[in-house]
Amino acid sequence: MHFCEAHIYSGFFPCPWPECANGTRAEDLELRGKRVFSQRFGDIVGQPVYAWIIDGVSAADRASQLTRRAIAQVNGAPSVADDGFLYHFTTEPALRSILTTDELWLTDYRDFSDKQEIQEGQTVADATFRHLEPELSVETKRILATLVNAPLSEGVYVACFSMLKDSPHHWTEYAKDASGGALVMNPLSFGPLLARDPFAIQFTRVAYAWDVKAGLFASLAVWLEELVYFDKKRGLFDENVYADEMTQIFSELLPMCKDVSFLREHEVRLVVTPAQAKSDLAANLYVRSIPGRRYITTRGVLPGFSLPIEKVVLGPSFAGDRTTLNVAPVKLEQM
Ligand SMILES: [Zn+2]
């Protein structure tokens, strides 16, 4: 796996940007007897980018790769609290369970208790795609319409964190009248979990402002349009291949979008999309279920992964037995 921070690139080949120190001096590469070349895109929007193209193979996945760059750009801003930690607010029973099992639940986004949350993304997407319509080809328009109208795709799992440590809102909303607690974790220590499959597991910031959300969907539409044109010219355009690819990336964007009224949450999400996996993650992941909620766990993603809990902050109204919490007293604090 190659990474280039300067060009926000990750993939099987070195960075495709010309002259990049993380790139390659070779003009062309080869994969299973096929020529692989670096292609420039994005001039039409004044945002040139480079991507590897394989001769004779559809470039549909490049459209989602370039959209993922847009996500990475949103994530470029600092995504942690001032102290460098992320806060997971929860109720006392859930807190006890997490400390005992040493794993977090990631909920299927189709089972979020607030259905409006996911609709927010769909609303912004619909408006953004409509706005761009005059600029788009028939094929792109058809694919985008499919995305907005299709039922939510399977297999997007989410755990929520806040970048705020002292948030009265979170104590009330997520820690049940401040009687719950907050797990304080170091995001950098999630490295091994993310490394399980960087294509399918990531931390992502929630976008609240309309412009940011619309920008993500506009990126999707623009890259789709350019890649559709590119593959049509090469005689390699297959609408179904493109539709499948875009369905996945679209379902990654939806959990990133929340209504601006939630702005004060400053949320960061751990998102796992097994369908995007380039490893055996999907095959080995067991989806559990309780009534109304499908979920996976951090240990399900990476067996043996221990939560990097720095400390546990108990809410101002926490009234439970502290001695039976499965955490070292030195890591325990009360608000
Ligand atoms: Zn580079």
User: How do the pLDDT tens digits run along the chain, 335 residues long?
Assistant: 788 888 888 888 999 999 999 999 887 888 889 999 999 999 988 889 999 999 999 999 999 889 988 888 777 655 556 677 899 999 999 999 999 999 999 999 999 888 788 889 999 999 999 999 999 999 999 999 999 998 888 889 999 998 877 777 777 777 667 889 999 999 889 999 998 887 788 888 899 999 999 999 999 999 999 999 999 999 999 999 999 999 988 988 999 999 988 887 888 999 998 887 778 898 889 999 999 899 999 999 999 999 999 999 999 889 999 999 999 988 998 88
Same domain, 69 and 53: no
CA-CA-CA-CA dihedral for 82, 86, 92, 97, to nearest 10: -150
**How many folded domains does the chain comprise?**
2
Same domain, 227 and 130: yes
Confidence (pLDDT) at 37: 95
Instruction: Name the CA radius of gyration of the chain, rounded.
Output: 21
Same domain, 167 and 295: yes
Strand 309-314 to 332-334 pairing: parallel
Distance from the CA of 53 to the center of ligand 1, in angstroms? 16
Same domain, 149 and 165: yes
Confidence (pLDDT) at 167: 74
Map tokens 């039409």 to a residue. Answer: 44
Confidence (pLDDT) at 78: 53
Distance from the CA of 21 to the center of ligand 1, in angstroms? 6
Same domain, 20 and 162: no
Distance from the CA of 278 to the center of ligand 1, in angstroms? 22
Total-model pTM: 0.86
Confidence (pLDDT) at 81: 62
Distance from the CA of 214 to the center of ligand 1, in angstroms? 27
Distance from the CA of 9 to the center of ligand 1, in angstroms? 7
Distance from the CA of 141 to the center of ligand 1, in angstroms? 32
Confidence (pLDDT) at 200: 85
Its domain, for residue 32, covers 1-57
Same domain, 105 and 115: yes
Distance from the CA of 294 to the center of ligand 1, in angstroms? 39
Same domain, 110 and 188: yes
Query: Which of residues 57, 79, 103 is at a domain's end?
Result: 57
Residues 280-301 as b/e (b if ≥16 CB within 10 A, e otherwise) read ebeeebeeeeeeeebbbbbbbb
Query: Which of residues 21, 37, 57 is at a domain's end?
Result: 57
Same domain, 23 and 93: no
Same domain, 44 and 149: no
